[in-house]
Amino acid sequence: RLPGLPMSLNQIIGPLFLLSATAYWARGQMMRLQSKVLPWLLLMSAYFLINAVTGESMENGLIQGRYVVIYCLYAVALAAAMKSERAILAYAWIITTLSFVAALAGIVEAIQKGTFFALAGKITDAVRVRGAASTAVVYGWNLLFAFPFAFFLFAEVRSRMWRGIALLMACTILFVALLSLSRTIIALVFIQTIVCARLFRYPNRRRVLAVLGVLVIVAAALVMPVAIKRFVGVADYRRDYSLMERRDNAIISREVFKAHPIFGVGLGSYSAVWRNYIPSDYRTFFAQYIEASRPRYTDQGYMQILCEGGIVGFGLFAALIVVIFRQAFRIRRRARECDDSFAWNLAALVIAGLNHLLLSTLTDDTFLYVRVWLLYAVALLLDERLLWPRTDKEAVPGTTPPEPAGSS
């Protein structure tokens, strides 16, 4: 919250953004969205709004339902405002630059904590870089979210200097993400590097792949001892506090799902009612010793959607992801036929972003993370109008393209 005020910065910026978007729409400066993704996004949002306010905890449900509405409006408004290639590139620059600044702050934090010297010794939470995020894992996920956007800029920016800057930002983001020293982040850094290098279309492909290969080898040499220690720890899960806590959450979530399989306990309600679902045989490790007033979260995104939204909510979420994937690959197929590199790379950005979403949801309850809805905004741009030949960078996808010169 802001000092001296009973509200947070988000509570001020959010309404101002929506008011600004409404003013743009009233002046006709927003394009009409025609994406096949939009109906599914609205349907999922409407379901989870109703699901939240009718759940077991109305207090938490009202808060979560409000966020669903706000984030959905964010995604739609952002997509409607990106009427040109220049606007889409600006959107990517904003996300990349802010993440790059966060990465630079992470380097400073790593120096202060002695993270680089600790790589060869014992890894503890005290040396893990977490930035301004709640945990080091969330910090790593947030940085990695920006990597496909940086790669998209590298592939699409025409200036050699700015392409180099975009690639430098991308590599810095990857390196600092490794300093979170998380098992999942270490794995995803290498996965996303391969995915982006494979999906995007960019000049000097062999040279860039060679550079990325060298960087991956160097990074692997630096973090391999850490990675081995972190992954070996999984073998004896009873000595790993975080794994035991996730195990407890999985057991309780399974009990919640068994009690409410169709519609779930209600979005946001799990943190308020979790203690009511501790199994009677107390097979959890330490959850039964925690007071009921302490909030507790699933920390596993798919489990959260399933136990809070039920089969219906999980089905709507899965349907949305399938529709986005299908539309992205459809646009890529048409972009190949039209030889449209921008449409190809924008679809690649969405696919790489979805890969990040699906993997991060394995270990984090990402459903209401802002970054997820920022990705939905880009997914809403995937429609056939994107494939028109554009000679003007300010051409609006929602209007009829100009006729060729000399046509009658």
User: What is the percentage of the chain residues whose pLDDT exceeds 70?
Assistant: 79
Closest among 348, 329, 301, 322 to 192, alpha carbons compared? 348
- Same domain as 141, residue 100: yes
4 half-sphere exposure, CB direction, 13 A CA radius: 0
260: in domain: yes
- Are 190 and 259 part of one and the same domain? no
For residues 115 and 61, membership in a common domain is answered with: no
Same domain, 225 and 97: yes
Please name the residue that has the structure tokens 């489990």: 303
Residue 99: inside a domain, yes or no? yes
Measured distance CA(380)–CA(346) in Å, rounded: 11
Q: What is the pLDDT of residues 151-191, one digit of tens each?
A: 999 999 988 899 999 999 998 999 889 888 877 888 888 88
Same domain as 308, residue 220: no
Q: What separation in angstroms does the CA of 114 have from each of 45, 111, 160, 186?
A: 44, 5, 36, 19
Does residue 165 sit in the same domain as residue 304? no
Domain co-membership, 112 together with 131: yes
Examine residue 397 and state whether it is found in any structural domain, yes or no.
Answer: no
Structural tokens at position 71: 């984030």
Q: In the 8-state DSSP scheme, what is residue 1? A: -
Q: Which two tokens stand for residue 21?
A: 């978007």
Give domain status of residue 291, yes or no: yes
- Mean pLDDT, residues 344-350 taken together: 95
pLDDT tens column, 359-386:
999 888 889 888 999 999 999 998 877 6
SS3 325: helix
Instruction: For residues 42-66, give the mean pLDDT.
Output: 93
Residues 208 and 123 in one domain: yes
The answer to whether 85 touches 342, Cβ cutoff 8 Å, is yes
Helix H or strand E encompassing 396: none
Instruction: Taking residues 26-36, report their average pLDDT.
Output: 82
Under DSSP, the state recorded for 404 is P
Q: Which residue from 370, 333, 374 is spatially nearest to 353, judged by alpha carbons? A: 374
- Domain count within the chain: 2
User: Is residue 358 located within the same domain as residue 255?
Assistant: yes
Which of these three, 236, 254, 285, is where a domain ends?
Answer: 236
Claim: this prediction has a pTM higher than 0.75: yes
Residues 350 and 314: their CA atoms lie apart, in Å, by 21
Domain contains 2: no
With 0-12 / 13-18 / 19 or more C-beta atoms within 10 angstroms meaning exposed / middle / buried, residue 55 is buried
- Kindly report the backbone phi and psi dihedral angles of residue 161, in degrees, each rounded to the nearest multiple of 5, phi listed first: -65, -45
At residue 357, φ and ψ (nearest 5 deg) are: -60, -50
> Pick from 248, 266, 278: which is nearest to 310 by CA?
266
**Residue 169 within a domain:** yes
Is residue 392 a part of any domain in this protein?
no
Question: How many whole angstroms separate alpha carbon 48 and alpha carbon 65?
Answer: 7
- For the chain, the average pLDDT equals 81
Kindly tell me the sign of the dihedral angle through the C-alpha atoms of 219, 222, 228, 233: negative
Claim to verify: residue 289 and residue 329 sit in the same structural domain: yes
Residue-level pLDDT at 398: 44
Same domain, 203 and 232: yes
Contacts of 218-224 spanning 24+ positions with Cβ under 8 A = 219/174, 219/175, 219/178, 219/189, 220/190, 222/119, 222/178, 223/119, 223/178, 223/186
Domain endpoint, select from 236, 258, 281? 236
Q: Does residue 404 form part of some domain?
A: no
pLDDT band at 279 (very low <50, low <70, confident <90, very high): confident
In this structure, the chain runs to a length of 408
Asked if residue 223 and residue 127 are part of one domain, the reply reads: yes
Give the structural domain span for 328: 46-81+240-386
For 336: left if phi > 0, alpha if psi spans -120 to 50, otherwise beta; the answer is alpha
* Highest mean pLDDT pick, 3-17, 237-251, 281-295, 316-330: 316-330
